[in-house]
Structure 1
Amino acid sequence: MTVCRKVLGKGIFNRLLKATAYGQFVAGETLPEIQRTLSKLSQLGIRPLLAVPIEEDVGERTRDSEMESCYDQHLQRMLNCVDLSTGSCPQPMMQLKVTALMSAGLCKTLTLALRKAACAQDLVVHRLVEVMEGKDLTFHSLSDSDSVHFHHSLRRLEKIGRVGHSV
C-alpha cells in the first residue's frame, strides 16, 4: 500500500481505495453518506452490520483509572454509532470486541478461572446479571482490582446491551 500511495499519489490512491476495498467496509465518512449507503442496502434487503473497530491496545501500560476512562470512551463511541444507525436502518446489528470494554488481561483471568469448578460457581450468569443491575458482589476468584474492573466492565456491557435491545 505504501508503494501504491507513492506511485499513484495521495489523491488518486485515496479515491481508488474508497472505490474498492474501503468502500466495501465503510458506509461513509459523514452522516449523509452513511444514511445514503444504509438506504441503498435496505432497498436491496441487506441488513448492515455495524462493526466498531476499537479495542484495548494490549501493549499499552497505563494506570487502572486511565484505562477505565478509556473503556468508558469506547462505550460512548459505540453508543454514538448505535445512535447513527438507528434512524437510518431498521433492526441494526452491531459487532463489538469485548476488549473494547474490558481488559484483555481480565478476559484471560476469567477464562482461566472458569476452568476451575470452584471459581466457575463464583462467576455464574445470575451473579453477573446482578452486577449489571447495580449490585456490588464479591468475586472470590478475582483479585480486588480485577473485581472492581470486572464490575465496571459488566456495567458497560449492560449499557450497550440495553441500548441495542431498545432499538
Structure 2
Amino acid sequence: MRRTKIISKILFYISRTLAMGYLLMIVYAVVCLLTGWNVQSATSGGAFVNILFPFTNSPFLIIDTAPTYIIFSFLLPLVLYSVFFWLASEVFKVFHQPRLFSSENVVHLRRFYLFNVFIPGAAALLSRPFTVVEKDIWLLVIVHFFLGIFIYFLAAIFTQGLQLQKEQDLFI
C-alpha cells in the first residue's frame, strides 16, 4: 500500500498543477481578450488573433475571433479540463488518506464519475448548434463516459467498504 500512496500523491500533485495551469490560462486569456492587452491580429482579415506570452511578442494561443468559437471551442473545453483535473486530483488524494473508506472519499469519487459520465456529452451537445463538433471530440466524450463508469464501480466498492467498516465498528 505504501507504493500506492506514493504514486497517488505524485499523481495528485501533477493533476492539481494541471488544473491550476488550465485555470491560469483561462484567466489570462479572458483578461487579454477583454482588455486587448497582449493580443495581436494573426491574419490580415482579423479572423484570428494571437494571445502573446506575457511581456513577449511570442504567440501563446491562436484564437478565432468569432464569439461562438471563443465560448464553445476555446473557453468551455479549458474550463471543463480544469474541473476534470481538479476532480482527478481529489480522486488521487483519496488513495493517500489515512482512512481509505470514508464518506468524504466516496463523495470525491461520486463527483468525478458524475462529471465524466454527464458533462462531456452535455457540453458537446450544447456546443453542436454553435460550432462544429468533430469526430475526435465525440471519441473523447466516449472515453470520459467509460472512465466515469469505471470510477462508478470504484465508488460502489468504496461505499460497500464504508458500510462494512461501519458495521465492524458497531461490533467492536
Task: Compute the TM-score of the two structures, normalised by the length of structure 1.
Answer: 0.32
Task: Compute the TM-score of the two structures, normalised by the length of structure 2.
Answer: 0.31
Structure with the bigger percentage of strand: 2
Structure with the bigger percentage of helix: 2
